Amino acid sequence: MTSRVAPAEEWPYEEIAGGFRVRHVMTPRDEFVSVSSGERASDAARRLGDDYGYAPVTDEAGLIVGTVARKELEDNPSERVGDRVTPLSLRNMIDADAPLEQLFDWLCDLPFQLVSAQKTIVGLVHAADLNKQPARTLVHLHITDLERRLARLIRIRFPCSREWFAFLTERRRAKIEEVRQSMDQGDVNINLLECVYLDDLHTIITKSDLACYLGNRLRWSLKTGWGGVRKLRDAASHGVRRMLPDVKHMPELRDRFRRVHDLIHAVDPALEELASSAKSASARASPRTGGGAEQ
């Protein structure tokens, strides 16, 4: 019989996640709306409408010279766009090949940035672009990675399924058994731990002594921040639900993503410690063999 899921260490999550770049969510230059530095602010704001909170600013030659917020234009309707432009700088420009996950930090500082490649502006990115599928997939990869690591942590600490099973409610135990029975068919052997949900893993860890292996800060994160992890998981997995409903929630989205990232890296040393302890215990329990009895 074969197991349905391969061990977590066989899946190169970091390599796959690292393949997502800023260019995968940016709006290409030939598709974005820009305004001219010589335009009246009121006219430019009208063209942007409610769809665009920011826009690149071009000079008379059509070269991009900076960015402007629609609110700045609306608040100063009689001025020229050029009077309110934010000049190009390292602060409002991102490399197209930068890791996508860095946007969760950068877009908190400035929710609209231009994207460059080989010293040429090739697109723009806005905080709302984190609702696009590449960003959702990136988040889902991290949460899946966390889920598999937590499951492995439980598997090492409790080799017998009934040990960790006892930490769940009677209702959840019955549901998990039902799921396993429905999936356990043919030549596929379904491990009981493969039938649990992410919240079940959280319950097992927080109710057992496993949380002690994660350190004080991460134990607190598991206790107080798990609701945010769950909401991030649900939003990333839901095809029509926005991960970022509004720009003002960008810090909240960043913090949730960081929490998942921190939990992943906190599990690694705990896995090493538990694996070492399990190996030592196994060695002590094994019968010793000698060179034979003396005659």
> How large a percentage of the chain has pLDDT more than 90?
64
CA distance 226 to 232: 10
Question: What pLDDT score was predicted for residue 265?
Answer: 85
User: By three-state DSSP, how is residue 251 classified?
Assistant: helix
CA distance 115 to 97: 9
CA distance 118 to 82: 26
Quick one: average pLDDT of 156-177?
Answer: 94
pLDDT at 201 over 90: yes
Q: Where are the domains of the chain?
A: 2-12+133-278, 25-127
CATH-assigned architecture of domain 25-127? Roll (3.10)
CA distance 54 to 44: 11
Per-residue pLDDT of 75-92, as tens digits, reads 999 999 999 999 999 889
Query: Per-residue confidence at 95, pLDDT binned at 50, 70, 90?
Result: very high
Q: What is the pTM of this model?
A: 0.84
CA distance 47 to 206: 53
pLDDT at 70 over 70: yes
User: If you count DSSP H runs as helices and E runs as strands, how many of each does the chain have, helices first?
Assistant: 11, 10
Query: Per-residue confidence at 285, pLDDT binned at 50, 70, 90?
Result: low
